[in-house]
Structure 1
Amino acid sequence: MPTAIVTSATGITGSAVVQHLLKDSSYTTIYTLSRSQPGIQDARVKHACLDLQASAEEMAKTLSGISADFIYFCAYLANPDEDEAAQINVKQLKRLILTCGFKHYGVHLGLPKQPLLETNPRLEGNIGNTSWPANFYYTQKRILETASAQGNWEWICTLPNDVIGYAKHNFTNEATALALYCTVSKTLPGSRLIYPGNHIIYLVQNCWTSADLHARFCLWAATAPGAGNNIFNVTNGDVYSFRELWPRLAERFGCQILENTFHPTTVQEFRSQSTIIELKTKNPVVVHAESMGLADTDISTRQPVLDLPIDPQKWARRDDVREAWRKLQVKYDLDQDFWDKATWEFLTFVLGREWGCVASMNKARGLGWTGYGDTWESFERTFEMLEREGVIPPMAQPKKDL
C-alpha cells in the first residue's frame, strides 16, 4: 500500500496532485507539506508545516518520522539545500517527482528552438558563444541525480508550462490575472477588451498545462515502467494562440473585441502605458543556429525584447482601473488579496514576448502516456472556480451600472 509526500501542497500543482492521490484508494497516507495552511482535509492526509528555506536541521526535525514511497516535489524553490534532500531520502523511497517548467529551455530569456525537446542541451556556462545565466532547475536536477544514485531510488522531472488552475491563497496564476483584467475591462467605458501585448505573440502558437492534467501525469509517472530518471514535457497536448483565446475571453466576460487591435490609432491611445524591455541574453535558439543553417540571420544576433502597447503592471495602477475594481470588490465582496497580489509582472512577460512555446509530448507518449486536456476548457474551469471562490463576480449575471 503506497504512501506519498507532497511539498507545496497548497499550491496550484501541489493541491492538484493531492486531490488525485485521494482518488486512488491504494494510498494509505499522504503527507502534505507547506509553510502555513493545512489545505485539503481528509483522514488520509497528514499535514506538516515546513519552510523549505529553513535550515537543514530545522527541516530534519519537522520531517522526523515522515517517510513515503513517492515524493512529489511541487515547490518553487530557487536554492534547494543538499542536506535537506538527504534528510527526506528514506530507504523505501521509490521515485521522487520534481516539478520544474519551461525555464529549463530558457523560454524566459528569448526565442528557443521549437518544438521543445527533452534532449535539448542545457543553457549553462558558455555555449553558442554566449555566457548563460544560472538556472536553478539545473541545480535541482543535479542534486536529484546525486542523491538518487546514493539512495538507490529514481527521479522524474516534469516540465509543465503556464499552469492553469486554482488554489486558495495562491496568487501566481496566469488565469487569475487574465480573469481580473477581463472583469475590470468589462466595467470600463465601452467594455473593450484591449489586447495588451504585441501582434507577434498574438499570432504565434503556444501550449499550456492544466494543473489537473499535470497531477494525473505525476501519478502515472510515479509507477510507469521505464519512466524513472527522465525529464518529461507535460502539456495539454493541444496548441492555441491568443488570436483564438482573446475573442473567447471577450465573449466569456461580456466584453467587446476591437476590430483594429493593432492599428496605430489604438496603440497611440495607450502610449503612456506601453513598455519595451530589452532582455539581457541572446535568443536561446542561437545554440542551434549553425545546425539549422541560420548562423548568418538575425536569429543569432537580434536582442530579445518584451514589447507591450499596454503593460498590465501600469494598467493595474491606473486610477480608473483601481476605482472600477474597488466598486466591484465592494459590490460582490470579492477577495481583495487576489487583486493586491496578482502577478501582473508575469502577464507582462507572457503577453510581451515575441516568441511562442510549443513542446513535443512524444517522449511521454512513447512510454504509454495518453492524457490530454483542452486548453480553453482548462481556462473555463478555472474561471468558474474563481467565481465560486469570490475572486471575480459571477459572469452569469447581466452587467449592471456600478
Structure 2
Amino acid sequence: MPSAIVTGATGITGNAIVRHLLKDSSYTKIYTLSRSQPSVQDARVEHACLDLQASAEEMAKGLAGVSAEYIYFCAYLARDNEDEAARVNGALLSSFIKALEITGATKKLKRFVLTCGLKHYGVHLGLPKQPLVESDPPLEDSLGGHQWPPNFYYTQQNILREAAARGNWEWICTLPNDVIGFAKHNFMNEATALGLYCAVSKALPGSQLIYPGNKVNYFINNCWTSAELHAQFCLWAATAPGAGNNIFNVTNGDTQSFQSLWPLLAERFGCTIPENMFDPATTEGYKDEATNVELKNNNPISVHAKTMGIADDPVNSRSPALRLPIDPQKWAQRKDVHEAWNKLKGKYNLDQAAWDKATWGFLTFVLGREWGCVASMSKARKLGWSGYEDTWEAFDRTFDILEKEGIIPPVGQLKYDY
C-alpha cells in the first residue's frame, strides 16, 4: 500500500495531484507540504508547514517521520532574473532532498516526480523547432554558437539525477505547458487572466471581445495542459514500467489555436467579436496600450539551423519580439477597465486579490509572441500513456470553477464540480 509526498500542495499542479491521489484507494498516506494550509481535507492526508527556503537541517526537523515511496515536487519560486531563478529553485530542491537523506526517508523512495515546463525548450526566448521532443538538447553553454541564459529547470534536473544515482531511486521530470486549473488563493494561471479579460470586456460599452495579441499569434498552433490531466499523468508515471529516469512532455493531446478558442470565449462570456478585429481602426482607442518589444534573444531553432538546412534563413535569425495592439498589462490599468471591474466586483462580491494578482504579464507574453508551442506526446504514448483532454473543455470547466469561487462573475450556469 503506497504513500506519497506532495510539495507545493496549495498550487494548481500540486493541489490537483493531491485530489487525484485521494481518488486512488491504494494510497494509504498522503503528506502535503507547503507554507500554507491546503484546502483538501481527508483522513489520509497529513499536512506539514514547510519552508523550502530553510536549510536542509531545519527542514529535516519538520520532516521527521515523513517518508513515502513516491514524491511529487511541484514547488517553485518565480524570479525575474534567470540567474536568481536558477540559484533559488536549485537550492529549494537540493535542500529538500538533503533533508530527506538526513531523516533517512530516501531509503523508502522509489520514484521522485519533478514538475517543470516547456521553458525547458526555450519557448520563452523565441521560435523553437517544432514539434518539441524530449531528445532535443538543452540550451546550455555555447550550444549552436550562442550563449544561452541560465534555465532553472536544467539546474533542478541535474540535482535530481545526481541525488537519484547516489540514493538508488528513480526520477521523472514532467514538461506541461500553460497549465489550466484552479487552486484556492492561487491566481498564477492563464485561465484566470483570460476569464477576467473576457468578463470585463463584456461589461465595457459594446461588449466587444477584441483579441489583444497580434494576428500571427491568432493563427499559430499551440498546446495546453489541464492540471487534472497532468495529475493523472504524474500518478501514471510514478509506477509505469520503463518510465523511470525520463523527461516527458505532458500536454492535453490536442492542438489548438486562438482562431478557434476566441469565438468560443466570446460565446461563453456573451461578447461579440469585431468583424475586422485586426484593422488598426478597431484598436484606435487603445494606442497607449500597444506594445512592440524585441526580446534580444536568439531563437532556439538556431541550434538546429544547419541540420534543418536553414543556416542563413531569416526564420532562424530574425529577432523574436512581443507585438500586441492591446497589452493586457497596460489594459488592466485603464480607468474605464478599473471602473468596469469595480462594478462587477461590487455586484457579484468578487475577489479583489484575483485582479491584483492575475498574471497579466504572462498573458502579454502568450498572446504577443509570434511562434507557437507544440510538443510531441509520442514518448509517453509508446510507454502506454493514453490520457487526453479537450483544451476548450478544460478552459470551460475552469471558468465554471472560477465563477463558483467568486473570481469571475457568473456569466453562465455552473456545469461542473471538482
TM-score (structure 1 length as normaliser): 0.97
Question: C-alpha displacement at 1:239, in angstroms?
Answer: 0.6
String of CA shifts for 1:183-221, please: whole Å, max 9, x gaps.
000010100001000011100100000000000000000
2:403 to 382, 387, 394: 387
Name the counterpart of 2:90.
80
Residues paired across the two proteins, number: 397
Classify the secondary structure of the residue corresponding to 1:257: coil
- AA aligned opposite 2:90: P
Q: Calculate percent identity across the aligned residue pairs.
A: 71
- AA aligned opposite 1:23: K
1:226 to 242, 245, 252: 242
String of CA shifts for 1:308-359, please: whole Å, max 9, x gaps.
1000010000000001100110111011110111110000000000000000
Q: Does 1:51 pair with 2:51?
A: yes
Classify the secondary structure of the residue corresponding to 2:410: coil
Q: Following superposition, which runs of at least 4 residues in structure 1 exceed 3 angstroms of deviation?
A: none
Classify the secondary structure of the residue corresponding to 2:97: helix
What 5-or-longer segments of structure 1 have no aligned partner?
A: 398-402
2: distance between equivalents of 1:228 and 1:76?
Answer: 22
String of CA shifts for 1:106-139, please: whole Å, max 9, x gaps.
0000010000000000001111121000000000
- For the 8 Å contact 2:56–2:98, the answer to whether it is kept is no
Name the counterpart of 2:67.
67
- For the 8 Å contact 2:177–2:251, the answer to whether it is kept is yes
Question: C-alpha displacement at 1:240, in angstroms?
Answer: 0.6
Name the counterpart of 2:332.
316
Q: Does 1:2 pair with 2:19?
A: no
Name the counterpart of 1:367.
383
- For the 8 Å contact 1:289–1:299, the answer to whether it is kept is no
String of CA shifts for 1:22-80, please: whole Å, max 9, x gaps.
01111111000111123210000000111212222221221121111000001124423
Name the counterpart of 1:173.
189
User: Residues 292 and 389 of structure 1: is their aligned pair in 2 closer, same or farther, counting only changes over 3 Å?
Assistant: same
Q: Does 1:112 pair with 2:122?
A: no
Name the counterpart of 1:376.
392
What 5-or-longer segments of structure 2 have no aligned partner?
A: 78-84, 414-418
- AA aligned opposite 2:330: K
Name the counterpart of 2:25.
25
1:92 to 108, 111, 126: 108
Name the counterpart of 1:37.
37
Alignment map for 1:158-169 (pairs within 5 Å): 158-169=174-185
Name the counterpart of 2:11.
11
2: distance between equivalents of 1:267 and 1:75?
Answer: 39
Alignment map for 1:132-281 (pairs within 5 Å): 132-281=148-297
- AA aligned opposite 1:345: G
- For the 8 Å contact 1:9–1:39, the answer to whether it is kept is no
Q: Does 1:290 pair with 2:306?
A: yes
User: Residues 129 and 163 of structure 1: is their aligned pair in 2 closer, same or farther, counting only changes over 3 Å?
Assistant: same
- For the 8 Å contact 2:269–2:412, the answer to whether it is kept is no
